Amino acid sequence: MFTSLQRLVKKRPTDPYLLSSPGLPSLHDKVTLLKHQTWPEYGLANSRFVVFDTETTGFCYNKEDEIISLGAIAIENGLITDSCFSQFVNPNRLIPSITTEITGITNEMVANCPDVLTVLDQFLEFKGLSPLIAHTASFDLNFINIKLRRYCGHRLNTPTIDTLLLAQLLFPVEENLRSLDSLAQYYGIQPTGRHTALGDALITAQIYTKMLDSLWDLGIKTTYQLANHLIFKHLI
């Protein structure tokens, strides 16, 4: 299943949204550029967003757990594209057996893979100046930001939409519609590649595109309008 998802990955060296040129290859330079970036108002249905997900050895980002896979897929003008990013990460530690059972990722699969800083450098090149989307985004960003703080001195400065918060906004009393699985079932989405980084990113992307009509009905068409609604509802 994961192999079939990986076939979606395509390199687009002429992508106009790329963050850097070959003259700006380092992760530190990318993160510094983003730190000073002024972010405009993005249309939710007519901009490029990058939906991403991580798989990790566990839940403790500030202790011993590490990223073992990072996947992302681009949405442009409200449509899911075939522009994807997917990479295993060598965590420089053993992957617990329970994690292998859930994700299918083994120690052998990551043994010869790049380290997390190399993969984050590649991911930020793919992301470029596009905002991010994730489900329970704080979990994934915590794992990324702890590495960026240590290496670059500051965290990732990028607007991020959390589909969990969108679910709380659109379904305020339906507390059963909070997980990725429950939202996929509600929207009739087949959860292909569940518990793989690219697979979960694709499911999240499909959920987001399904939510756009409901956001539009609420008069929410831009990232600024969305932020204002989330603040008004005390969701952020």
With a cut of 50, say whether residue 1 has pLDDT above it. no
Residue 66 backbone phi and psi in degrees, to 5: -140, 160
With a cut of 50, say whether residue 43 has pLDDT above it. yes
Nearest to 67 by CA among 127, 19, 123: 123
Q: Residue 236: its pLDDT value, please?
A: 87
- Do 148 and 156 contact (CB within 8 A), yes or no? yes
Mean pLDDT of the chain: 90
Strand pairing report for 67-76 and 160-162: unpaired
Q: How far apart are CA 84 and CA 56, in angstroms?
A: 19
Query: What is the pLDDT averaged over residues 9-30?
Result: 55
Helix, strand, coil percentages, rounded to 5, for the chain: 40, 15, 40
Q: Residue 62: its pLDDT value, please?
A: 85
CATH architecture of the domain 2-232 equals 2-Layer Sandwich (3.30)
Q: Residue 193: its pLDDT value, please?
A: 86
CA angle, 52 as apex, 202 and 147 as ends, to 5°? 155
pLDDT of 98-131, one tens digit each? 999 999 999 999 999 999 999 999 999 999 999 9
Q: How far apart are CA 6 and CA 9, in angstroms?
A: 6
- Do 165 and 21 contact (CB within 8 A), yes or no? no
CA 179 to chain centre: 16
pLDDT of 187-219, one tens digit each? 999 988 899 999 999 999 999 999 999 999 999
pLDDT of 50-76, one tens digit each? 999 999 999 999 888 999 999 999 999
Q: Residue 19: its pLDDT value, please?
A: 53
Give the SS3 label for residue 84.
strand
pLDDT band at 12 (very low <50, low <70, confident <90, very high): very low
Active site (catalytic) residues: 195
**What residue spans define the domains of the chain?**
2-232
